[in-house]
Amino acid sequence: MAAIDNLLKLTRHLRSRVVTESSRFHDVYLATMVSKATRTREEALSPFFKPNISKLAAKGDIAGLLRALRYKRDQRVRAEAARALGVAVAHCAVPTLIEALRDEYDYVRVAAAEALGQIADQEAVTPLIDALEDECEGVRKVAAIALGKVGDRQAAPFLIEALSDDEWMVRRAAAEALGELMDTRSVPSLIDALRDPVYDVRKTAATSLGGLRNERAIEPLKKLLSDNMSPVRKVAALTLKRLCGLTAKQGPIVTGDS
C-alpha cells in the first residue's frame, strides 16, 4: 500500500509540474508575441526605422510612403519614396513632393520633380517653374519635362528662357516641353533653337515646331535639310512634309502671333 501511495503522489507531482511548465511557456510565448507586435509598430512609426519602399509601394501604403519621403537618415529612401508616389499618381502627395523640391540632395529633388510630372497637378506648376533655376542641371531638366506634362501654358515664358540654359540637356527638355504646351509664343525661340550647337536640341526643336503648325517655321526648317547630322535632316524633312501637307490641304496654317 505504501508503494501505491508513493506512486500516486509522484503522479500528482509530475502532473502539477507539467501544468506549471505549460503555463509558464504560454506566458512567455504571449509576452514574446506582444513584445514583437509592439516593436513592429514602434519601428513603423519611428523616424529611425528605415522604411522598405518596395513593400510600401506593393501594399499601396501612401501614408507610409509619405512618411518615408520625410525620412531624414537616408536620401535614397526619400528619392525612392518620391518615385513610388509618382508611379501611384498620388495627388495627396503633391504638397510633400513640392517640399522635396527643396531637399538638400539633388538626387531627391530630381525624383520629386519627376513624380510631380507624373501626377501632373496644377498646384505644382509654380514650384516646378522655380526649379528651372535649380543649381543642378538634372533638376532643371526634369522640371522642364514635368512642366510639359502638366501642360499649363503659364510655364511657356520660363521654358522659353530655359532654351538658353548653359546645359544642352536642359535646352532639349525645354524644347520638348514647349512642343507639348502648344503655345505659339514659343515659335520664334524654337526657330532660334534650330541653330543650337547640339544636334539633339536642333532635332527636338524641329519636332516641336511641327506640332505647333506655324508657317513661320517652314523656311528655317528648309535650312536644316543641309544640316551636318542625318537625324536632324530626317526630322526636318518629316516636319516640312507635315507642315506643307497641311498647307496644301487646309490652306494657310497658323501665322503671325495667333
pLDDT at 243: 85
Higher pLDDT, 106 or 49: 106
120 and 239 in a single domain? The answer is no
The beta-carbon contacts of 56-60 under 8 Å, at least 24 apart in sequence, are 56/81, 56/84, 57/84, 57/87, 57/88, 60/88
pLDDT of residue 189 exceeding 60, the answer is yes
pLDDT digits (tens, 9 = 90+) for 28-45: 444 444 344 444 444 444
pLDDT digits (tens, 9 = 90+) for 122-133: 999 999 999 999
pLDDT at 63: 96
**Domain final position from 141, 158, 181:** 181
Let me know if residue 104 belongs to a domain. Answer: yes
Question: What separation in angstroms does the CA of 251 have from each of 93, 173, 188, 245, 254?
Answer: 47, 32, 22, 9, 10
159 and 246 in a single domain? The answer is no
120 and 155 in a single domain? The answer is yes
**Domain final position from 181, 208, 226:** 181
Q: Phi first, then psi: what are they for 254, rounded to 5°?
A: -55, 130
pTM of the model: 0.77
- Of 80, 36, 88, the closest CA to residue 61 belongs to 88
130 and 221 in a single domain? The answer is no
74 and 146 in a single domain? The answer is yes
pLDDT at 22: 53
Give the CATH number of the domain where residue 244 resides.
1.25.10.10
Burial of 111 (0-12, 13-18, 19+ CB in 10 A): buried
**Domain final position from 163, 181, 199:** 181
127 and 223 in a single domain? The answer is no
57 and 172 in a single domain? The answer is yes
pLDDT at 16: 58
Give the whole-number percent of the chain exceeding pLDDT 70.
76
220 and 255 in a single domain? The answer is yes
177 and 196 in a single domain? The answer is no
pLDDT digits (tens, 9 = 90+) for 131-169: 999 999 999 999 999 999 999 999 999 999 999 999 999
| Grid cell 503633391 in the structure block, residue | 94
144 and 177 in a single domain? The answer is yes
Q: How many C-beta atoms surround the C-beta of residue 45 within 10 A?
A: 9
pLDDT digits (tens, 9 = 90+) for 59-70: 999 999 999 999
Supply the range of the domain harboring residue 208: 185-258
Let me know if residue 59 belongs to a domain. Answer: yes
pLDDT of residue 246 exceeding 60, the answer is no
